[in-house]
């Protein structure tokens, strides 16, 4: 299979996680029960753990390796500040679809980086595809809830997620076509995403995940990070 075919396949698989997350939210049982709330908070926390793992094992190491210290600092802070202003804009507008917007702003640069690095570093590309899929699932799960609270019907909310599941394929193909060989630029995209992710985790996900006197959220976060370590360990042995 050619590199471009693999880029399309892996980016499509990570994008399908958007639909899967929305579908699981659509089927969520007893959403207003204590068990339903615990499951919801556990999913949110699991997504936070996966996002931290993506930063720790893929995004930050690439930037530290390839970028000078001034560039590393500048691009990381740009990611943080960009999402800070996005967060303030969403809060000012009272837009309940904020999780969906944040997911797309993070998903697109990661998908571009996936396509760009795949031809020269397949292991990192595959690991990034795995992380993108794992983080898309809980983020889409939460986005479905945001859309429902905005007044959309369950079917309409799920339909809105369909085009977003395909955005990553276009971004990955663009990255492969135009950025392959531009390692420092790709590293900048990854560090930008790292800054944005850490802002999202501690501004939105961690506070949303907290549930007093319950163990599920904290355990979910730890399991999400553990899954990242497992992926890194397995793929580190691949050629």
Q: What is the mean pLDDT of the chain?
A: 82
pLDDT per residue over 49-101, tens digit each? 888 888 998 889 989 999 999 999 999 999 999 988 888 877 776 655 566 77
Name which of 22-36, 114-128, 178-192 the model is least confident about.
22-36
177: in domain: yes
User: Cβ(11)–Cβ(169) under 8 Å?
Assistant: yes
Q: Among 57-61, 88-92, 158-162, 223-227, which is the least confidently predicted range?
A: 88-92
Alpha-helix residue ranges (DSSP H) falling in the chain:
3-26, 34-54, 60-66, 69-93, 98-118, 122-149, 154-178, 183-200, 206-209, 216-236
**Tokens at residue 155, please?**
């079917």
What whole-number percentage of the chain has pLDDT above 70? 85
Of the two residues 114 and 212, the one the predictor is more confident about is 114
Asked whether residue 143 is domain-assigned, the answer is yes
* 90: containing domain: 3-22+35-234
Looking at residue 30, what is its pLDDT?
45
How many independent structural domains does the chain possess? 1
In a domain, 30, yes or no: no
HSE-CB for 227 with a 13 A CA cutoff: 21
Nearest to 93 by CA among 146, 55, 135: 146
Residue 71 domain-assigned? yes
The answer to whether residue 29 is domain-embedded is no
The CA distance from 102 to 203, in Å, is: 12
- Among residues 77, 78, 80, 98, the alpha carbon closest in space to that of 89 is found at 98
Q: For tokens 């553990």, what's the residue?
A: 226
139 falls within a domain: yes
Q: Is residue 239 part of a domain?
A: no
- Confidence category of residue 207, pLDDT binned at 50, 70, 90: low
28 in any annotated domain: no
């Amino acid at each position: 299979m050619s590199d471009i075919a693999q880029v399309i396949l892996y980016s499509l698989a990570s994008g399908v996680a958007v639909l899967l997350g929305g579908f699981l939210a659509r089927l969520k049982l007893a959403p207003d029960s204590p068990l339903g709330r615990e499951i919801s908070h556990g999913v949110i926390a699991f997504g936070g753990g996966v996002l931290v793992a993506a930063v720790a094992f893929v995004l930050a190491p690439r930037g530290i390796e390839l970028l000078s210290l001034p560039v590393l600092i500048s691009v990381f802070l740009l990611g943080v500040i960009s999402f800070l202003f996005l967060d303030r804009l969403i809060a000012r507008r009272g837009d309940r679809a904020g999780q969906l917007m944040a997911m797309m702003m993070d998903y697109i640069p990661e998908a571009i980086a996936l396509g760009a690095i795949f031809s020269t570093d397949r292991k990192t590309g595959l690991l990034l595809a795995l992380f993108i899929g794992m983080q898309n699932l809980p983020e889409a799960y939460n986005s479905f809830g945001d859309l429902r609270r905005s007044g959309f019907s369950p079917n309409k909310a799920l339909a809105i997620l369909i085009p977003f599941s395909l955005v990553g394929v276009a971004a990955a193909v663009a990255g492969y076509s135009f950025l392959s060989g531009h390692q420092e630029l790709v590293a900048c995209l990854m560090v930008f995403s790292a800054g944005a992710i850490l802002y999202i985790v501690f501004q939105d996900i961690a506070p949303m995940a907290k549930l007093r006197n319950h163990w599920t959220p904290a355990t979910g976060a730890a399991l999400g990070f553990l899954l990242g370590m497992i992926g890194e360990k397995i793929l580190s042995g691949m050629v």
